[in-house]
Amino acid sequence: MIQEMVRDFVEKEVKPVAEKLDETGEFPYEIMKKLGELGLLGTVIPEEYGGSGASFLSYIVAIEELSRGCASTGVIVETHTSLAVEPILAWGTEEQKRKYLPKLATGEIIGSFGLTEPNAGSDAGGMQTTAVLDGDAYVINGSKMFISNAGVAGITILLTKTDKNLGYKGMTEFIVERDTPGYSVSAPIHKLGIKASQTCELSFDNMRVPKESVLGKPGQGFKIAMHTLDGGRIAIAAQALGIAQAAFEESVAYAKQRCQFGQPIGKFQGVQWMIADMATDIQAARLLVYHAAWLKDQRLPYSKEAAMAKLYASEAAMRHTVKAVQVHGGYGYTMEYPVQRHMRDAKITEIYEGTSEVQRMVIANHVLK
C-alpha cells in the first residue's frame, strides 16, 4: 500500500518537477509539505509521537520510489529520517523524543546530521569540532562539511570531541537547534547531482548548548554515529536502487521506440544484453536492500548486510546509468533526456555515508573477524 501510494505521488507530484529542480537547485518545499501531510516524513516514528508507525522496510520502499522520481527528494527524506529521526528514536530521552519527533513527523522541522569535516571524511576520528563543558552548557567550536539538508534543517545531530585524550570514546553527539547563537550555515555547495538537496558547510563559533542537548551519554557519540550510519546505508542503497530503476525504465522505453536499420534498437542483441544486465543487477540489488531492511526490522544484526546492500546497489546504479546513456546514444548525452540526470545523481551514492571502499572494509571486517 505504501509503495502504491508513493508511486502515485511521485508520478503526479515529483517527476513533473524533477528536471526543474535539477536545473535550479531549489529546495522542494511544496513536495516536502505534501510528504509531511501523507505521513512520509514520519514513516518510522511511532504513532504516540505523531508518526505513521510503519516498518523500516516500508520506509525503504518509500525512499526507492521517491528516488525513482527525483534523487534529490529521496536523499532529503533519507537524511531527515535515517540520520536525524532514527538516532533520536534509538538514543533520545523521553523529553527529547516528545520535543522533536512530532515536529519531524510533520515536516515542521527538517533534520540533518553533522559528521564530515573539511579534513575528516571516512576518518571520523580525525574530526576537530570540540565541545567543552562550561557549567550547565557545552561550548562548541568547529565546522562540518557536505552536510545534507543543512540549508533548511531545524535541528542537526552533531558529532563532537568532548575529550581529545580518549579517541573514539571521547566523542559526544548533540541535538543542536538552528537558531542557537554561534551556529551559521554557508550558501549551498554547487554539486554534480542531487542539486535540490541543500548541501552546505556548518560553522560553530563559541556556540553554547545546554547539557540536555546531549544525545545518549557523553562519550557515546562515535557509537551512535556508526549505528546511525548502518541504517542510513540501507536507505542510500534504496536511493541508488530507485535511480537505477528509473534509468532502466527509460532505457526499455527508448529501446522499443528508437528505430535504426529498419527496426527498434531493442531488437539488436547488443542492446538486449545491456537491458538484460540492468534488469538482473537491479533485481539482485533490490533483494540485498530489502533483506538488510528486514533484518533491521527483526532486530537482528545487519551491519554487514547494510554495507553489502549499499556497495552493490550504488555501484550497480553507476554502471547502469552509464549504460542507459549508451542505450540512448547521442540523445543520452543531451539534457533533453533524464538519463544524464540519473547518471549524475548515481555517482554520489558511491561516496556519501561511507564510500564503496569503506563498505568493503566493513564487509571484510565482519567476514574475517
- Residue 266 maps to which CATH number? 1.20.140.10
Mean pLDDT of the region 272-301 = 98
Read off the CATH number of the domain in which 40 is found: 1.10.540.10
Q: Are residues 13 and 98 in the same domain?
A: yes
Q: Are residues 228 and 364 in the same domain?
A: yes
Residues 202 and 216 sit within 8 Å (Cβ to Cβ): no
Q: Are residues 199 and 245 in the same domain?
A: no
Into how many domains does the chain fold?
3
Question: Which of 314, 289, 302, 281 lies closest to 362, judged by CA?
Answer: 302
Q: What is the pLDDT of residues 7-22, one digit of tens each?
A: 999 999 999 999 999 9
Q: Are residues 103 and 120 in the same domain?
A: no
Q: Which domain holds residue 326?
A: 223-368
The predicted structure's pLDDT at residue 124 = 81
CA 128 – CA 125 distance, rounded (Å):
9
Q: Are residues 236 and 347 in the same domain?
A: yes
Read off the CATH number of the domain in which 119 is found: 2.40.110.10
Q: Are residues 229 and 351 in the same domain?
A: yes
Reply yes or no on whether the pLDDT at 31 is more than 90. Answer: yes
Residues 112 and 79 sit within 8 Å (Cβ to Cβ): yes
The predicted structure's pLDDT at residue 125 = 80
pTM check: above 0.75: yes
Q: Are residues 14 and 101 in the same domain?
A: yes
Reply yes or no on whether the pLDDT at 166 is more than 90. Answer: yes
Q: Identify the burial level of 357 via C-beta atoms within 10 angstroms of its C-beta, where 0-12 means exposed, 13-18 middle and 19 or more buried.
A: exposed
Return the bridge partners of 144, or none: 202
Q: Are residues 283 and 356 in the same domain?
A: yes
What positions carry a catalytic annotation? Answer: 353
Q: What is the pLDDT of residues 105-161, one digit of tens each?
A: 999 999 999 999 998 888 888 899 999 999 999 999 999 999 999 999 999 999 999
Q: Are residues 239 and 216 in the same domain?
A: no
Q: Are residues 294 and 206 in the same domain?
A: no
The band of 182, judged by pLDDT with boundaries at 50, 70 and 90, is: very high
Listed residues 110, 140, 168: the one ending a domain: 110
Q: Residue 356, by phi and psi: left (phi above 0), alpha (psi -120 to 50) or beta?
A: alpha
Q: Are residues 211 and 291 in the same domain?
A: no
The band of 246, judged by pLDDT with boundaries at 50, 70 and 90, is: very high
Listed residues 222, 254, 282: the one ending a domain: 222
Please tell me whether residue 51 adopts helix, strand or coil conformation. Answer: coil
Q: What is the pLDDT of residues 312-347, one digit of tens each?
A: 999 999 999 999 999 999 999 999 999 999 999 999
Q: Are residues 228 and 354 in the same domain?
A: yes
Listed residues 110, 125, 153: the one ending a domain: 110
